[in-house]
C-alpha cells in the first residue's frame, strides 16, 4: 500500500486504470449474459458492440459524432475567449472583482438546461441554440475559477516584481498570468468535461442530429445497446480530450509553481 500523496510509476498507473475497466465490463457481462438483468433494460456488451457497429456502418453515426464535437468545441471556445480575460481582470483588480462577482456567483448556479425552452424561443432549434447552451453552462464557471486562481498568486512574487521596478501592467503580464497559466489550463480541462453534459442535454430536445439525438431516438425503440454505445462514445472522446489536455499542460507549463 502506498503512502498518502506518494507518486506511482506510469506503468503501474496504467495497469490499475485498465483493471477497473476490465472489472466493470466483467460485472456488466455477468449481470446481462447471466440473465440477472433483462436485456430490455440493459443490453449486454456483445449486443452493444453489434449495435454500435451497425450505427457506424449503416446509419452514419460518424457524422453525428462529428457534429456533436463541433458543437462542444464551438460553444466552449466562445466561452473561454470571453471568460478567461474577465477572470484574469477579476483576480488581478479588486474593483473589477467587486463589479462582476455578485452577478457571476449568481449566474453560475443557474442550470444551463433550464434555459433551453427560452433559447429555443429566441434562437430556434438550430446550431445557435446548442452553442448558447454550452456557452451559458461554461462561461460563468470559467470566470469565477480563473479569478480565484489569479487572485491566489503568491504575494511574495508580486512584491518582488514591484521591488524590481515592474508596473501594474507588467505584474499582470509577467507574474500573475504566467503563475496562473497552468491552473487556468487545468480549469479549462475540467469545464470542457462539463460542456459535454450541456451539449447532450441540448441535443435531447429539439435536435435532428448529434449523439444526443441518436440516444433519444434509440430510447423510443428500446434499443439499449445503441444508447449505451452512444454514452460510451462520449466517454471515450472525453478520455482522449482529457489526455490531450494533460499532455499540452505538461509540455507548455513547465514552470508550474509548487
* Statement to judge: residues 2 and 72 lie in one domain: no
pLDDT digits (tens, 9 = 90+) for 174-208: 888 888 888 999 899 999 988 888 888 888 776 77
Cα separation, 91 vs 106, whole angstroms: 18
Residue 57 inside a domain? The answer is yes
pTM summary value: 0.84
CATH number, domain at 170? 1.10.3720.10
* Statement to judge: residues 95 and 184 lie in one domain: yes
* Statement to judge: residues 57 and 130 lie in one domain: yes
Q: pLDDT category, 27, cuts 50, 70, 90? A: very high
Q: What pLDDT does residue 221 have?
A: 81
More confident residue, 81 or 155: 81
* Statement to judge: residues 4 and 105 lie in one domain: no
pLDDT digits (tens, 9 = 90+) for 38-67: 878 888 999 999 999 999 998 889 999 999
**How many domains, in total, are found in the chain?**
2
Lowest model confidence (mean pLDDT) among 46-50, 85-89, 114-118, 142-146:
114-118
Residue 61 inside a domain? The answer is yes
pLDDT digits (tens, 9 = 90+) for 240-250: 888 888 888 88
* Statement to judge: residues 15 and 119 lie in one domain: no
Parent domain of 29: 1-37
* Statement to judge: residues 53 and 79 lie in one domain: yes
Mean pLDDT of the chain: 86
Residue 258 inside a domain? The answer is no
Residue 163 inside a domain? The answer is yes
* Statement to judge: residues 64 and 124 lie in one domain: yes
* Statement to judge: residues 85 and 16 lie in one domain: no
* Statement to judge: residues 56 and 1 lie in one domain: no
Q: What pLDDT does residue 108 have?
A: 87
Find the mean pLDDT for residues 70-88: 94
Residue 77 inside a domain? The answer is yes
Cα separation, 133 vs 111, whole angstroms: 10
Q: What pLDDT does residue 258 have?
A: 44
* Statement to judge: residues 133 and 80 lie in one domain: yes
> Long-range contacts: 120-123, Cβ < 8 Å, 24+?
120/205, 120/206
* Statement to judge: residues 3 and 130 lie in one domain: no
* Statement to judge: residues 17 and 132 lie in one domain: no
Q: Are 55 and 61 in contact (CB under 8 A)?
A: yes
Which residue has cell 457571476? 104
- Cell, residue 169: 501592467
More confident residue, 45 or 171: 45
Q: What pLDDT does residue 256 have?
A: 60
Q: What pLDDT does residue 103 have?
A: 93
Residue 105 inside a domain? The answer is yes
Amino acid at each position: 500500500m502506498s503512502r498518502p500523496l506518494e507518486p506511482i510509476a506510469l506503468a503501474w498507473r496504467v495497469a490499475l486504470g485498465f483493471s477497473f475497466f476490465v472489472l466493470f465490463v466483467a460485472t456488466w457481462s455477468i449481470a446481462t449474459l447471466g440473465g440477472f438483468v433483462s436485456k430490455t433494460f440493459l443490453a449486454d456488451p456483445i449486443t452493444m458492440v453489434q449495435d454500435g457497429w451497425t450505427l457506424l456502418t449503416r446509419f452514419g453515426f460518424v457524422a453525428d459524432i462529428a457534429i456533436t464535437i463541433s458543437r462542444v468545441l464551438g460553444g466552449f471556445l466562445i466561452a473561454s475567449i470571453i471568460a478567461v480575460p474577465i477572470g484574469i481582470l477579476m483576480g488581478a483588480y479588486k474593483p473589477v472583482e467587486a463589479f462582476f462577482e455578485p452577478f457571476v456567483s449568481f449566474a453560475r448556479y443557474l442550470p444551463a438546461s433550464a434555459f433551453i425552452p427560452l433559447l429555443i424561443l429566441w434562437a430556434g432549434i438550430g446550431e445557435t441554440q446548442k452553442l448558447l447552451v454550452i456557452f451559458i453552462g461554461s462561461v460563468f464557471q470559467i470566470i469565477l475559477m480563473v479569478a480565484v486562481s489569479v487572485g491566489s498568486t503568491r504575494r511574495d512574487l508580486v512584491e518582488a516584481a514591484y521591488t524590481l521596478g515592474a508596473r501594474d501592467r507588467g505584474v499582470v503580464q509577467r507574474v500573475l498570468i504566467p503563475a496562473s497559466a497552468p491552473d487556468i489550463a487545468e480549469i479549462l480541462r475540467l469545464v470542457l468535461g462539463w460542456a459535454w453534459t450541456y451539449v447532450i442535454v441540448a441535443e435531447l430536445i429539439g435536435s435532428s442530429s448529434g449523439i444526443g439525438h441518436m440516444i433519444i431516438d434509440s430510447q423510443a425503440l428500446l434499443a439499449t445497446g445503441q444508447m449505451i454505445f452512444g454514452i460510451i462514445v462520449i466517454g471515450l472522446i472525453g478520455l482522449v480530450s482529457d489526455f490531450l489536455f494533460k499532455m499540452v499542460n505538461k509540455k507548455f507549463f513547465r514552470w508550474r509553481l509548487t
